[in-house]
Amino acid sequence: MIRGIRGATTVSQNDAIEIIDNTRQLVLEMIEQNKISASDVTSVLVTVTTDLNATFPAKPIRELPGWKYVPVMCMQEIDVPNGLPRCVRIMMTVETELKQEQIKHIYHHEARTLRPDLFE
C-alpha cells in the first residue's frame, strides 16, 4: 500500500545550518517511527515558508545513506496570512504495510501547533 507520511519542524531564524539540522532530525524520526527503508520511498516533497531561503532543506535527505536516488523536491509553501512562520513541511510517500491509523506523523518544535489532534 502507498501511504503519505507527514512531518514538520520550525527554525528560530533563516539560517542554513539550523534548517539542515532540524530537517535532518525530523526526517530521521519519520524514518525510525515508521520503519522506512529508502527503497520503499516513492518521493519526498519539502515545502518551506516564504521567510526561509538560506538553503535547500532537501540537502540532508539526499545525504542520508541509501537515499541518493530517492526523488526529493523543494517548493515554497502557500503564504497564508497569520500562518506558522519559519516552517519546513515534509510529505513522504512510501510503500508500507502500515494501516493509515498506524502511520506516525512527526511534528517538532512550534510545528506541533499545526496538528494538535495527532498528539495524545
Tens digit of each residue's pLDDT (9 = 90 or more) over 58-112: 999 999 999 999 999 999 999 999 999 999 999 999 999 999 999 999 999 999 9
Enumerate residues 6+ apart whose C-beta is below 8 A from 92: 4, 5, 6, 7, 27, 30, 36, 41, 43, 44
Please, which pLDDT band fits residue 115 given cuts at 50, 70 and 90? Answer: confident
pLDDT for res 78: 93
What average pLDDT does range 20-31 have in this prediction? 98
pLDDT at 11: 98
Count of helices and strands (H, E) across the chain: 2, 5
Predicted local confidence at residue 2, as pLDDT: 95
Residues with a catalytic annotation lie at 6, 62, 74, 77, 89, 107, 115
